[in-house]
Amino acid sequence: MDVFLNEIEKNAENTLADGGGSSTPDANDRANFIHEKSLTATAVELFLAGTDTAATVLRWALLYMMTLPEIQAKVQQELDSVVGRSRMPKWADRLILPYTEAVLLEIQRIRTVLPLGAPHVAAKDTKIGDYDVPKGSIIVSNLWAVHNDPDIWTEPDQFRPERFLDEDGKLRHREEFIPFSAGHRVCLGENLAKMEIFIFFTYILHTFTIKNPYNKPYSLKGISGVTFGPIDVEIVAENRD
């Protein structure tokens, strides 16, 4: 936001220096977007879109850890062996916590919180395969279909973090994994969301063990709304110390 505000100030100074006008097309184009209304709109979008999606991923994560205690135990074992008990996990630790990262990726695959992504608009007439896409068409990407395609993911309805690990147990990139969409218009808050999800998830499992208070099975079916989230459930967070 500080950088954006500085650019607004620079644009204002340039406009004054040009006598109220702008000497280049590029400067005119920047002036159309670099202003306080644009900054406000961007900040609001980051908070609204980023808060709900990250929180929904974490809700799924807690539900799955409660439902699959053996997976939770493996994450905690890795955290204890790599991070230790004397400090909390850091963002940089993700590079040496491959299983923990794989669990988070599998959660985002099996329960894609934005199943149809964000709508986009075709900037020009386009041809995709045998289909003509006229300029101005609204484009919706079925991310859920990609993440649950049995031709890509063996038994996609099964929770398997190992999908994202190679033979040596190292994290491996999967091109078909696109929870933040794909292409030039991917989610603006992708990096921020990844940091938030990792830090909250590892902090929680480093400190607590998530348990089922009633020892009864909870449904893993989601509820569609602004995001695809789990049903509301009660959990027990038992202090590990």
* DSSP of 147-161: HT-TTTSSSTTS--G
Query: Does the structure show a pLDDT above 90 at 236?
Result: yes
Output the CA angle 122-126-132, nearest 5 degrees. Answer: 110
- Which comes out higher in pLDDT, residue 177 or 118? 177
pLDDT in tens, 181-201: 887 778 878 888 999 999 999
Regarding pTM above 0.85, the answer is: no
Q: Which helix (H) or strand (E) holds 27?
A: helix 25-33
Domains of the chain: 35-239 (1.10.630.10)
Query: Does the structure show a pLDDT above 60 at 57?
Result: yes
pLDDT in tens, 81-125: 999 999 999 999 999 999 999 999 999 999 999 999 888 889 899
Least-confidence region, from 21-25, 89-93, 136-140, 150-154: 21-25
Residue 138 phi, psi (nearest 5):
-85, 130
Measure the CA–CA gap between 72 and 64, rounded to whole angstroms. Answer: 8
Percent of the chain with pLDDT over 70: 94
Measure the CA–CA gap between 67 and 69, rounded to whole angstroms. Answer: 6
pLDDT in tens, 19-41: 655 555 555 667 778 889 989 98
The whole-number pLDDT of residue 96 equals: 97
Question: How much is the mean pLDDT over the chain?
Answer: 90
Q: Where are the beta strands (DSSP E) in 89-189?
A: 120-121, 126-128, 131-133, 138-139
The whole-number pLDDT of residue 207 equals: 97
3-state SS assignment for residue 60: helix
The whole-number pLDDT of residue 12 equals: 82
Which residues lie below 8 Å from residue 229, measured CB to CB, with a gap of 6+? 56, 59, 60, 113, 222, 223
